[in-house]
Amino acid sequence: MIAKTSATPAFSADHYSGTDLAKLDAHVIQPEEYEEIAELTDEMIARADFYRGGVLIRRGRPKSDSPKKQVTIRLDADVLEGLRATGAGWQTRINDALRVWLLARSLDEGAPRSADRTTS
Protein backbone atom coordinates (compact mmCIF):
# COMPACT_ATOMS: atom_id res chain seq x y z
CA MET A 1 0.00 0.00 0.00
CA ILE A 2 1.34 3.44 -0.93
CA ALA A 3 0.83 6.27 1.57
CA LYS A 4 -0.63 9.44 0.14
CA THR A 5 1.34 12.56 1.03
CA SER A 6 0.09 16.10 0.88
CA ALA A 7 1.83 19.46 1.02
CA THR A 8 -1.00 20.69 3.26
CA PRO A 9 -0.83 19.62 6.94
CA ALA A 10 -3.79 17.53 8.12
CA PHE A 11 -5.23 20.23 10.39
CA SER A 12 -4.55 23.46 8.51
CA ALA A 13 -7.23 26.01 7.66
CA ASP A 14 -6.35 25.56 3.99
CA HIS A 15 -7.18 21.86 4.24
CA TYR A 16 -10.71 22.51 5.45
CA SER A 17 -11.61 25.65 3.53
CA GLY A 18 -9.98 24.77 0.23
CA THR A 19 -8.65 28.34 0.09
CA ASP A 20 -5.02 29.37 -0.21
CA LEU A 21 -5.10 31.73 2.77
CA ALA A 22 -1.50 32.86 2.34
CA LYS A 23 -2.27 33.93 -1.23
CA LEU A 24 -5.45 35.64 -0.06
CA ASP A 25 -3.58 37.53 2.69
CA ALA A 26 -0.93 38.64 0.21
CA HIS A 27 -3.50 40.02 -2.26
CA VAL A 28 -3.73 43.80 -2.48
CA ILE A 29 -7.09 45.09 -3.70
CA GLN A 30 -6.74 47.08 -6.90
CA PRO A 31 -8.87 50.16 -7.78
CA GLU A 32 -10.67 48.30 -10.57
CA GLU A 33 -11.84 45.67 -8.08
CA TYR A 34 -13.90 48.31 -6.30
CA GLU A 35 -16.07 48.51 -9.42
CA GLU A 36 -17.40 45.06 -8.50
CA ILE A 37 -18.90 46.40 -5.27
CA ALA A 38 -22.44 47.68 -5.60
CA GLU A 39 -22.83 51.36 -4.72
CA LEU A 40 -25.17 52.02 -1.82
CA THR A 41 -28.32 53.85 -2.81
CA ASP A 42 -30.64 56.00 -0.69
CA GLU A 43 -33.22 53.21 -0.97
CA MET A 44 -30.75 50.66 0.46
CA ILE A 45 -29.89 52.96 3.35
CA ALA A 46 -33.58 53.64 4.06
CA ARG A 47 -34.20 49.88 4.32
CA ALA A 48 -31.35 49.50 6.81
CA ASP A 49 -33.37 51.07 9.64
CA PHE A 50 -36.65 49.61 10.81
CA TYR A 51 -39.38 51.99 11.92
CA ARG A 52 -42.66 51.13 13.62
CA GLY A 53 -45.13 54.00 13.85
CA GLY A 54 -42.41 56.51 13.05
CA VAL A 55 -40.22 55.22 15.91
CA LEU A 56 -36.83 53.72 15.13
CA ILE A 57 -36.69 50.14 16.43
CA ARG A 58 -33.26 49.37 17.83
CA ARG A 59 -31.77 46.04 16.88
CA GLY A 60 -29.78 43.79 19.15
CA ARG A 61 -29.93 43.24 22.86
CA PRO A 62 -32.10 45.75 24.73
CA LYS A 63 -30.40 48.11 27.17
CA SER A 64 -30.42 46.81 30.74
CA ASP A 65 -31.91 48.84 33.59
CA SER A 66 -28.96 47.69 35.73
CA PRO A 67 -26.00 47.04 33.41
CA LYS A 68 -23.08 44.97 34.65
CA LYS A 69 -19.73 46.60 35.35
CA GLN A 70 -16.52 45.04 34.08
CA VAL A 71 -13.91 44.47 36.79
CA THR A 72 -10.58 42.74 37.15
CA ILE A 73 -10.22 40.31 40.03
CA ARG A 74 -7.41 37.98 41.03
CA LEU A 75 -8.45 34.43 41.88
CA ASP A 76 -6.42 31.37 42.77
CA ALA A 77 -5.82 29.26 39.66
CA ASP A 78 -7.62 26.23 41.10
CA VAL A 79 -10.65 28.34 42.06
CA LEU A 80 -10.88 29.83 38.56
CA GLU A 81 -10.43 26.41 36.95
CA GLY A 82 -13.16 24.94 39.15
CA LEU A 83 -15.57 27.77 38.34
CA ARG A 84 -14.97 27.52 34.61
CA ALA A 85 -15.38 23.76 34.79
CA THR A 86 -19.00 24.29 35.87
CA GLY A 87 -19.76 25.36 32.31
CA ALA A 88 -21.50 28.27 30.67
CA GLY A 89 -22.84 30.87 33.08
CA TRP A 90 -19.99 30.53 35.59
CA GLN A 91 -19.57 34.32 35.81
CA THR A 92 -23.28 34.73 36.56
CA ARG A 93 -22.96 32.10 39.31
CA ILE A 94 -20.06 34.09 40.83
CA ASN A 95 -22.25 37.22 40.77
CA ASP A 96 -25.11 35.33 42.43
CA ALA A 97 -22.83 33.86 45.13
CA LEU A 98 -21.39 37.30 45.91
CA ARG A 99 -24.90 38.75 46.13
CA VAL A 100 -25.93 36.03 48.62
CA TRP A 101 -22.77 36.68 50.65
CA LEU A 102 -23.46 40.43 50.75
CA LEU A 103 -27.06 39.85 51.81
CA ALA A 104 -25.98 37.48 54.59
CA ARG A 105 -23.31 39.94 55.70
CA SER A 106 -25.76 42.85 55.83
CA LEU A 107 -28.07 40.76 58.03
CA ASP A 108 -25.19 39.98 60.38
CA GLU A 109 -24.70 43.19 62.35
CA GLY A 110 -21.51 41.88 63.96
CA ALA A 111 -19.65 41.42 60.68
CA PRO A 112 -16.29 43.23 60.53
CA ARG A 113 -16.09 46.14 58.11
CA SER A 114 -13.74 46.07 55.11
CA ALA A 115 -11.05 48.00 57.06
CA ASP A 116 -11.09 45.24 59.72
CA ARG A 117 -10.46 42.47 57.19
CA THR A 118 -7.92 39.90 58.38
CA THR A 119 -7.75 37.48 55.41
CA SER A 120 -6.02 37.98 52.06
In this prediction, residue 63 carries a pLDDT of 84
Asked, for residue 25, whether it belongs to a domain, the answer is yes
As a whole number, mean pLDDT of residues 57-80 equals: 88
Asked, for residue 85, whether it belongs to a domain, the answer is no
As a whole number, mean pLDDT of residues 18-26 equals: 85
Domain carrying residue 33 = 20-57
pLDDT bucket at 48, cuts 50 / 70 / 90: confident
Integer Cα distance of 28 and 96 in angstroms? 50
Asked, for residue 38, whether it belongs to a domain, the answer is yes
94 CB burial (10 A radius; 0-12, 13-18, 19+): middle
Asked, for residue 66, whether it belongs to a domain, the answer is no
Beta bridge partners of 55: 52
In this prediction, residue 114 carries a pLDDT of 56
